[in-house]
Chains A and B, each alone.
Chain A
Amino acid sequence: MNDFVFDRRRLLSWSAQGLGATALLHLLQRDGVLSAQEQTHLPAKVKRAVQITLVGGLSHLDSFDPKPELRRRHGQTLRMEHQPDTFFNQIGLLRRNDFDFQRCGRSGLEISNLFPHIAEHADELTVLRSMVADSANHTPALFVLNSGFPLNGYPALGGWLSFGLGSEADDLPSYVVLPDDRGEANGGASNWTAGFLPAQHQGVAFGSGPNPVGNLVPASPISAAEEEASRAFLRETNLAHVARRGDDADLSARVRSYELAARMQLAVPRVADLADEPVSVRSLYGIDRPETADAGRRCLLARRLLERGVRFVQVYSGGPIAGSPRRSWDAHENVRENHSAEARRIDQPVAALLADLKRRGMLDDTLVLFTTEFGRTPFTQSGAGTVGAGRDHNRYGFSCWLAGAGLKKGIAHGATDEVGWKAVVDPVTWNDFHATVLHLFGIDHERLTFYHNGIRRRLTNVHGHVVNDILA
């Protein structure tokens, strides 16, 4: 009958989410009792990551996947066996790329002149040219990019890393999200939710300004003397309470949480204040120019957060998906105009982040991810028999890249067909992508699980294979 164990260690298992259990776990991590690096399944190549997320769908054909054949077949009809899953179902003729490709760096990796600054770092990049997505619909596709599931409510990659590895910083959240100034992407906070994981693993969205996180300072003015006296009395009240009734782990955890909060109050404004960065660094990121100011500030902030022990930072490029003019990479109308404008905002800042991380030696144990929901179609979104200027969603083939430790650099993995319609060589799903990222962190994606409503949930659902070919 008694086939379960009453055991303090069970506090760490799926069964324990009672009061105090996760609190204790959380504090143990912070106390360094369980140092993350010694505990991973595999040798960890990286300790932290930054993910640049392009909302709306970057055209791989105009950025990282050169297709000379597409240029040759401009204006022709693409013959397809099945009706394609685009979004608007307006299938025009094939269109050549709007941006020309060059061989870059010593590796000769081909990148288009859409991203001239990023192209300078070609030798650091590991391009995946055979990504495939589950959905050609923005919001489900963005959910899959983040969490591996097309629905609201599943924990994001950053949350899983926080859950698996904790934070190296006591005084900062372990997962920070930096949304585009133009607004949050569709799905809003669902994109960085902790889902069913405990709350401390949700992404904390930093706004701009000196106090980017809510409640850092009292909402109404309180003098330093009152603050100090109140804190002292709270501590005393709680300790007296513990003394009266006996020690319970959860009660002392609460006492500790107020001490950590006090440290966070100091640390967050300090990391967000870019004033102590030299002018040269600020201008490297393009903070001094209007078109790059927003992304530049956020890329620089990302580096500072990583530097101080934050596990995962996500930088969004693109705001809400709908509306006119476009505020994302969703180039249904005109790829040249849309992508030029969007790339101007992030090309220099992202390149600066790569350069800065490298200069500081951080690229040796930091991972940079450059991701987008899906790619765009080789044929235009226009009436049949016409060549339009825009491209529709393409979930069958697109490009993302990684940079950092543990990877083969300056290579392109996988391939789409001759016109870039479908991934045909070594397709990589988001489950594969996530499995590979976890692998670089030293985590076996099949073993990082959390029990929820009947299933030991994984970031990779029941799928996913590490893309071994890109590992160094």
Chain B
Amino acid sequence: MRWIFPTVLLGLLLAFPPIAAAMGLEFYQGLLTKIMIFALAASSLNLILGYGGMVSFGHAAYFGLGAYTVAILMREGVTSGWVIWAVAVGLSALLALLIGAISLRTRGIYFIMITLAFAQMIYYLVVSFKQYGGEDGLRARRPEFGLFELNDTTLYYLTLGVLLAALYLLYRLVHSRFGRVLQAIRENEARALALGYPVFHFQLVAFVLAGALAGLAGVLMAHYTQYASPNLLAWQQSGHLMMMVILGGVGQFWGGVLGALVLSLVEEILQDLTIHWQLGVGLILLFIVLFAPKGLAGLMRRGS
């Protein structure tokens, strides 16, 4: 019985593009693509934030780096999608390794602030390159994948595939020994240390993996908007991803997906209703923090 709902959902997702094309709803196909991209980015953040207890306030750095890698490589004449993907994910992982290796020496508020500091440095660095658009962002043409042409519809299926693969990977990971140790460290770091676990290495591996996945999400975002914006690197973007995770449920497996879906929909709907839509978003978030600390996933679990 419990497989019926996911199967139906998957079927609907697979069938959506032809339906959208028939009914002139391409805009909503784009919206779904965007939501799936955010779901990927938020799920990657949930790995370190929820399962690892590492409150990174700089996740936008990898997200934006992924997008800018696409834009810059395409501009420099590298047109193979596979090469661009590999470089983008590799660079994001490398950046996460660098930032993680330094930041994970600190704890608490200092960790939050140092991850923010690194993300801000990346932001200003990117913005200072006028030949790559500076504060105006850079056009990111869609690369060639050989097997298929990347258009709005293939991108939709590509994103769906990547999201499913990433979720499978994350699911296996958090239910493995690695995942259990990560959560043990979150609960009681001193005890994990005393038990002989290399805490720093476990945390760093999770941090790098999350960075790489966020980079991949950034790549997809660049394919979607065909544009790399400095907004993707800004601290508000880090906050936005954090909002999704917390809204969905910190350390709940579906937290990232749920948060991305609900927040994006709420924003989309409120934006149409009123220019003061941010007031609604703010009130909902505040309500969630004060009255539903486990997020929507927590609420649903309690309900069932």
Physical interaction between A and B: no
Q: Measuring CB to CB, which residues of chain B are less than 8 angstroms from any residue of chain A?
A: none
Q: Measuring CB to CB, which residues of chain A are less than 8 angstroms from any residue of chain B?
A: none
